[in-house]
Amino acid sequence: MDIFTLVGGAGLLLISTGVITKNRTKQNILYIIGGIFLGIYSAYLENMIFIILQLIFVLSAIYDLWRIRNCSMSHQK
């Protein structure tokens, strides 16, 4: 088993853990890291469909995390 398969497997585990996590901030962090790992694995496979999918997935999780943090900061004012 090569390092890229291990990275892909770790990404799969992180995203799967994020699905069952109730805390949205933690969930998005797991999605971001897991998505990056799966993106690396997709690049290794040279699969453009999955590279684009992971890019969209990671950017969506980053946006959601940013939105959650901005909403919580505006409520604190």
Query: How is the chain split into domains, by residue range?
Result: 3-76
The dihedral of CA 52, 58, 60, 63: what is its sign? negative
Tens digit of each residue's pLDDT (9 = 90 or more) over 31-60: 999 999 999 999 999 999 999 999 999 999
Residue 4's pLDDT band, with cuts at 50, 70 and 90, is: very high
pTM over 0.85: yes
For residue 74, the model assigns a pLDDT of 67
The CA–CA distances, whole Å, from 28 to 1, 7, 9 equal 29, 18, 18
